[in-house]
Amino acid sequence: MTRTVLAFMLALAFQIATADVLIIDEVRQAERMELPKNGQSKTEIETNFGTPAEKQPAVGDPPISSWKYDTYSVYFEYDLVLYSVLHPGAVIEK
């Protein structure tokens, strides 16, 4: 029984380590991408990155809106970029 428990724990540890590597790879790929940067205006984003596939209206106070592109979304507070986020599982570079 001890061997079974040990084998299970080793398998679980291997899966956790594999997941960490994948997340790190995604972060490294995101850093190499040309994504909208904090503080840019909506006009700058649309000029430099094109028209988004979808625009979500502002919600809350302060108003937060988002634009969805193929592989990432851009979040705005009023007219300025707060953050750009990659979509889960998006293929960035090959």
What are the pLDDT digits (tens) for 37-66?
999 999 999 999 999 999 999 999 999 999
| Region of 39 on the Ramachandran plot (φ > 0 left; ψ -120 to 50 alpha; else beta) | left
DSSP E strands in the chain: the ranges are 54-59, 64-68, 72-77, 80-86
- Does 91 fall in a domain? no
- Does 62 fall in a domain? yes
**Amino acid 43: pLDDT:** 96
- Does 18 fall in a domain? yes
pTM score, two decimals? 0.67
Residue 18 pLDDT > 60, yes or no?
no
pLDDT band for 33, please (50, 70, 90 cuts).
Answer: confident
pLDDT band for 34, please (50, 70, 90 cuts).
Answer: confident
Residue 82 pLDDT > 60, yes or no?
yes
**Number of structural domains the chain divides into:** 1
Question: Which token pair is 91?
Answer: 């293929």
- Does 94 fall in a domain? no
Domain that holds residue 30: 2-86
